[in-house]
Amino acid sequence: MPAGPSDSARSTTEAWESGDHWNIGDRAVWVAQTGHRLIEFEVTIASPDNGTVLSGSLSGGNEREPFELPGRFGNVRHTGSEQRYCLPCARSLHELRTQTRRWTDLHWGGWSPRAHRKHALLQASIEWQRVIGGFRGTFTRAADVPDWLRQVTAGALIRSYSDSLRVARIEEPIDWPTMFTDHPGDLRIVVDKSLDTDGDLWSRITKAYNAIGDSGIAAHLTVDLEVTADGELVLNPYAVGSAELDTTTDDPEYYLQLDPRHAALIDHVTATLSTGPLQPAGFWPVTSQ
Ligand SMILES: [Zn+2]
Ligand SMILES: [Zn+2]
C-alpha cells in the first residue's frame, strides 16, 4: 500500500523537517508515493520560515507565486548539486526510490511475462494522431485484435496510464452491448469484482445503458482495454452515463428541479447499477479505480 515518505520515521525529527535545514533558492523535490509510482516534483525553496516553495527550478522564469506544500518540508528533499550536496536528503531520496522500485517489481510481477509481451505488442500496434487536446489512436493491421474492434475503435483510442496493463481507454459513444451480442466470444468483459456484488454487473450496466438510450438521450459507455494477468485482452467498463446529463453540479436537488424526466431516469439508473452515485459529469462509475 502507498505510504507517505515521512511515515517510516515519525518518531524522530528528520533533518529536512527543521526550517534551518533550508536556504532560500535551494533546489529540491517534493516527493509523493502514489500507487506504484514515486512522484517527484521539482521545487525551489522560497522561504524556509514560511515553508513556501516555487515550482520548478530557478531558471524557469520569475512570474511564479510561492506556495506552501502539503506537509511543508516533510516531503521535500534536496536534490544533488555541486554547491550543496545534502547527505540526509540524498540518503532518503535513494531509499524512497529503491522502495518504490521494489513495490513496482512486485506489482508488475503480478502479470505473466506473456501478459507483458501482449501489452507491449498491442501498444506498439497503435498509430497515434494528434488531435485538439491530445492524441487519439487506431489499431494497425498488425494489432492482434478482432477486425470489428479495430474498426469501431479507429481514431478513438486514448492513452491512459494505470496500475494495470491498460492498452487504451475509449470514450467514444460506441454501442458496446450490441457489439458483444454481434460478436460473441471475441472479447471478454471483465467487471470490477469489488463492485460486482451479485455477479451480474455487466447485465446491470447494459440495462442502465439501454434505459439512458431509450429515454432519448445519447448513452455513453466508457471502457478500458486491458490485458489480464495471463495475457488475455479484455474490456473493462469504466463508467456509464451521458454527456447530456451534465449539469456541472453534483447537487441532486438541482437535477430534480432541472428536468423531471432526467430525475426519474437518474433514479432508475442509480437503482439499476447500485454501484456508485452519479458523477457531476453525468457518468456513473462502474469501477473502483
Ligand atoms: Zn537536505
Ligand atoms: Zn497494486
- Please state at what angle helix 201-214 crosses helix 260-273, rounded to 10 degrees: 170
Give percent of the chain with pLDDT exceeding 70.
Answer: 86
Q: What is the mean pLDDT of the chain?
A: 86
Question: What distance in Å separates the CA atoms of residue 202 and residue 179, rounded to the nearest whole number?
Answer: 14
C-alpha 103 – ligand 2 centre gap (Å):
9
Is residue 8 predicted with pLDDT exceeding 60? no
C-alpha 78 – ligand 1 centre gap (Å):
4
Q: What's the Cα-to-Cα distance from 18 to each of 47, 53, 73, 142, 255, rounded to whole Å? A: 13, 15, 8, 57, 50
Q: Which ligand is nearest to the CA of 22?
A: 1
C-alpha 43 – ligand 1 centre gap (Å):
13
The larger pLDDT score, comparing residue 246 to residue 9, is at: 246
C-alpha 72 – ligand 1 centre gap (Å):
14
C-alpha 22 – ligand 1 centre gap (Å):
7
The larger pLDDT score, comparing residue 197 to residue 145, is at: 145
pLDDT value at residue 3: 45
**Long-range CB contacts for residues 180-188, cutoff 8 Å, separation at least 24:** 182/148, 183/146, 183/148, 186/146, 186/148, 186/149, 187/146, 187/149, 187/233, 187/234, 187/235, 188/232, 188/234, 188/235
pLDDT value at residue 65: 85
Considering only 64-73, 152-161, 274-283, which range has the smallest mean pLDDT?
274-283
C-alpha 95 – ligand 2 centre gap (Å):
20
The larger pLDDT score, comparing residue 271 to residue 251, is at: 271
C-alpha 197 – ligand 2 centre gap (Å):
21
C-alpha 10 – ligand 1 centre gap (Å):
17
Cell numbers standing for residue 32: 509523493
The larger pLDDT score, comparing residue 156 to residue 36, is at: 156
pLDDT value at residue 61: 54
Q: Which ligand is nearest to the CA of 18?
A: 1
Residues, CB-to-ion distance under 5 Å, ligand 1: 78, 86, 89
Considering only 6-10, 21-25, 219-223, 252-256, which range has the smallest mean pLDDT?
6-10
Determine the average pLDDT of the residues in 60-73: 76
Helix (H, G, I), strand (E, B) or coil at 38: strand
C-alpha 242 – ligand 2 centre gap (Å):
30
C-alpha 7 – ligand 1 centre gap (Å):
18
pLDDT value at residue 55: 86
Is residue 58 predicted with pLDDT exceeding 80? no
Is residue 253 predicted with pLDDT exceeding 80? no
Q: Which ligand is nearest to the CA of 15?
A: 1
Is residue 222 predicted with pLDDT exceeding 90? yes
Out of 27-41, 50-64, 144-158, the most confident range is: 144-158
Is residue 151 predicted with pLDDT exceeding 90? yes
C-alpha 84 – ligand 1 centre gap (Å):
9
C-alpha 97 – ligand 2 centre gap (Å):
17
pLDDT value at residue 38: 87
C-alpha 6 – ligand 2 centre gap (Å):
21
C-alpha 160 – ligand 1 centre gap (Å):
35
Cell numbers standing for residue 283: 457518468
